[in-house]
Structure 1
Amino acid sequence: MKRVIVLGGGFAGVEAAIFLRKEGFAVDLISPRPYMYIYPTSIWVPVYEAEFADVCLPLEDLQKVHGFTWIEDEIVQIEAKNKKAIGKKGEYQGDFLVIAMGAGKVKHEGSENYLSICGEPEDAIKMRDRIDELVAAKRSGKIAMGFGGNPKDSSAVRGGPAFEMMFNLHNYLKKKGLRDRFELTFFATMAEPGKRLGPQALKMMDLFFNKLNIKKHFGKKIKKFEPHGIVFEDDSFLESDFTMFIPANAGHPVFQDSDLPLSDAGFILVDEYCEVKDKPGVYAIGDSAYIEGPQWRAKQGHIAEVMARNSANNIAIDAGVKVGKKESYIHHLNIICVMDSGDGAAFVYRDDKRGFMLPMPIVGHWLKKGWGWYCRNSKLEKIPRLPGL
């Protein structure tokens, strides 16, 4: 039985391990965390809509269900030519190598002065504690939330969770009867955050900000973060008692000293079948890979899982264990999400032909809650999995 080494225990890595097992491979999944973190539902941890354990799927449970082997280790070096990865605890080599380690972050001075809902999982708990401190004080406070961009790769931006976190915080403070005591400001380095979703969505986001009395601070690069606010490139200062910020993605630091071909932003160059260029038998998926496509393209969980499933299929064909057609991720590119607000949501969709945002008061919130339940239970095979999901 041929062996595949999968690096990473997120959406891409877990999906790859599941489907490689279905293709009959022996699979070792290497991840430093003992759980798969469900980032899309982590927005509820800081506002007590979910417990931390609710957004974690133990890899020990997943390996029992699907038959892959989870090894807890942190990868520090990759030798793509030899299909080999070196960790702090050991070395791993197989007939094929799948890289799904996620991404690094664009660096900002003073990063210790903000927390990120897309950062380390523990940040969600720290955010909850910081919000608790401000709420307990029962005084006027200023909270700023936002996200940044990567000029070297437009797909490396993750703005949706920042919008969701701000709207959920507004709703949380409203429930507490404290919304009028807090000044909320949403900031972004680009002039029109959310533009990739299409003109209709951009207008609707603006309406949301005005309706909810959320201030805007757009179009200025960040100079540094300070304990009580953000300094921008023109030396203007946005005061903040607590700052949540999602820096743009950049290539994972481990890739820099490897023999992997990289884009200008540090992501792994792959073909449409997710195979690393000039490295036969090595695949890169999810946030680790450079994605070709239109300017509006974005790295999302469902694209990562498409790349994972396709890679499993393509590896099976390369290995000669099945006959069929290799699958490309290109025609699957779109943006799709349910942007939650705590008391409702908006359904967002974008492809080459259209882009729209559909408000879903009340029911939208429970739709996303339902997706979180489905994600956990379908991966554990407690319920049937819907085709393509």
Structure 2
Amino acid sequence: MKKILILGGGFAGVDAATHLRKLNYDVTLVSNRDYFYIYPTSIWIPTHEIGFKDTCIDLNELQKAHGFNLIIDGVNKISKENNSVTLQSGKIINDYDYLIIAIGASKMKPKGVENTFSICGAPEQSLAIRDALDDLVKKGSGKIAMGFGGNPKDTSAVRGGPGFELLFNVHNMLKKKGIRDKFELTFFAPMAEPGKRMGPNALKMMATMFSKLKIKQHFGKKITHFEKDGVVFEDESKLDADLVMFIPAGDGHEIIKESDLSTNDAGFIKTDDYSCVLNEDGSLSNIYAIGDVASLEGYDWRAKQGHVAEVMAKNAAHNIHQREQNKTNFKGYNEHLNILCVMDTGNGAAFVYRDEKKAFMLPMPIFGHWLKKAWGVYCRNTKLGKIPRIPGM
């Protein structure tokens, strides 16, 4: 039985392990934490709508459900030449037939970023945002700024959606408490039209929502640095804030930048459409890179999302199996590139979709909020194999 080593316990890594176990491979998953974190539902932790544990699935439960081997440890070094992985504990693994890298991305580090919180950072950051919000609510007033940044070396590494969602949910929470008028909410971003990748109609609808909810906008100015009490821009203007939530753009993982793997300018692993890392002569290697760690090629509006990572994971499992059967019916991710999300507002949602042919945002009333809540339950139970996965999802 061929051995497959998977690095990373997120959407890409867990799905790859699940699919490969169904194909009866000997799979070992390495994760630096002992739980799978459902990032899309973490937007409700700061507003107390759900608890931290509600976003976590114990990896030991996933191991029992699917039968893969599990190592809780960080990755310290990856060597393509030596066909080896060194873990933070010092353990060296070099007896695998295939390696799947799914360790995600690092974050860009603008000056003073330690003065901000991030809903897309370490899971514990959601609790820190919650506590900071609680302090402002107790105070009874305050200025809250939320936004995201970009990576000029890789436009696919932007993740702004959770920032929009969190601010809308905070607005809704403050409104329920009857103190919304005591708070100034601002959304900021260095690009002139944040959210443009969702399409022109979505961009107009977002502007309407900001206006309706009396959320200020601060767009089109480069961020120079963050201070304890706000955001400073290239024209030396400052956005004052008691709480700043900022989602830095993704950047190549430090482990990858220090490895002998081929990367793009931003430090993401180069692969072919089938997620395989190619050898110098163009032949297939035994390494696959999936999810945020990989360079995502394609349309200008492309974005790294969980469902794209899951497509990569399923395809990688399929493509490895094809190779083991001496077949070449490989599957690529490019034809599945799209933007797809339910953008939650706390009292409703909007369905966002874009591909190469169409782009739209469909408003959804309170039903949309409960639809996303239902997706969280669906995600947990499908990962654990308790309910079947809906085809195409």
TM-score (norm 2): 0.97
The whole-number CA distance in structure 1 between the counterparts of 2:110 and 2:93 is 33
User: Aligned AA for 2:318?
Assistant: N
Give the match's secondary structure for 2:379: helix
The whole-number CA distance in structure 2 between the counterparts of 1:20 and 1:255 is 24
1:225-264 aligned at under 5 Å gives the runs 225-264=226-265
The whole-number CA distance in structure 2 between the counterparts of 1:379 and 1:112 is 34
1:202-241 aligned at under 5 Å gives the runs 202-241=203-242
Give the match's secondary structure for 2:81: helix
Give the match's secondary structure for 1:290: coil
The whole-number CA distance in structure 2 between the counterparts of 1:289 and 1:281 is 15
Among 65, 84, 102, the alignment partner of 1:100 is: 102
User: Aligned AA for 1:10?
Assistant: G
Give the match's secondary structure for 1:280: strand
Give the match's secondary structure for 2:276: coil
Residue of structure 1 in register with 2:30 after alignment: 30
- CA displacement, residues 114-152 of structure 1 (integer Å, 9 cap, x when unaligned): 0000000000001000000000111x3100000000011
Residue of structure 2 in register with 1:9 after alignment: 9
Give the match's secondary structure for 2:211: helix
Give the match's secondary structure for 1:299: coil
Q: How much does 1:24 deviate?
A: 1.4
The whole-number CA distance in structure 2 between the counterparts of 1:35 and 1:130 is 25
User: Aligned AA for 1:386?
Assistant: I
- CA displacement, residues 211-261 of structure 1 (integer Å, 9 cap, x when unaligned): 000000001111111000011111110000000000000000111110100
1:42–1:124: 8 Å Cα contact kept in structure 2?
A: yes
Among 108, 117, 127, the alignment partner of 2:119 is: 117
Q: Which runs of 4+ in 1 moved over 3 A?
A: none
Residue of structure 1 in register with 2:184 after alignment: 183
Residue of structure 2 in register with 1:368 after alignment: 372
The whole-number CA distance in structure 2 between the counterparts of 1:70 and 1:181 is 49
Q: How much does 1:324 deviate?
A: 6.0
The whole-number CA distance in structure 2 between the counterparts of 1:228 and 1:64 is 47
Among 324, 342, 354, the alignment partner of 2:358 is: 354
The whole-number CA distance in structure 1 between the counterparts of 2:64 and 2:166 is 34
Among 275, 286, 290, the alignment partner of 2:291 is: 286
Residue of structure 1 in register with 2:39 after alignment: 39
TM-score (norm 1): 0.98
Q: Runs of 5+ in structure 2 lacking a partner?
A: none
1:276 matched to 2:277: yes
The whole-number CA distance in structure 2 between the counterparts of 1:126 and 1:10 is 21
Seq. identity, %: 59
The whole-number CA distance in structure 2 between the counterparts of 1:121 and 1:377 is 20
Q: Which moved more, 1:80-89 or 1:30-39?
A: 80-89
- CA displacement, residues 345-366 of structure 1 (integer Å, 9 cap, x when unaligned): 0000000111000000100000
The whole-number CA distance in structure 1 between the counterparts of 2:261 and 2:372 is 37
The whole-number CA distance in structure 2 between the counterparts of 1:307 and 1:287 is 10
User: Aligned AA for 1:318?
Assistant: R
Q: Runs of 5+ in structure 1 lacking a partner?
A: none
The whole-number CA distance in structure 2 between the counterparts of 1:95 and 1:82 is 12
Give the match's secondary structure for 1:29: strand
- CA displacement, residues 194-226 of structure 1 (integer Å, 9 cap, x when unaligned): 000110000000000000000000011111110
Among 364, 369, 385, the alignment partner of 2:389 is: 385
Give the match's secondary structure for 1:81: coil
The whole-number CA distance in structure 2 between the counterparts of 1:82 and 1:203 is 52
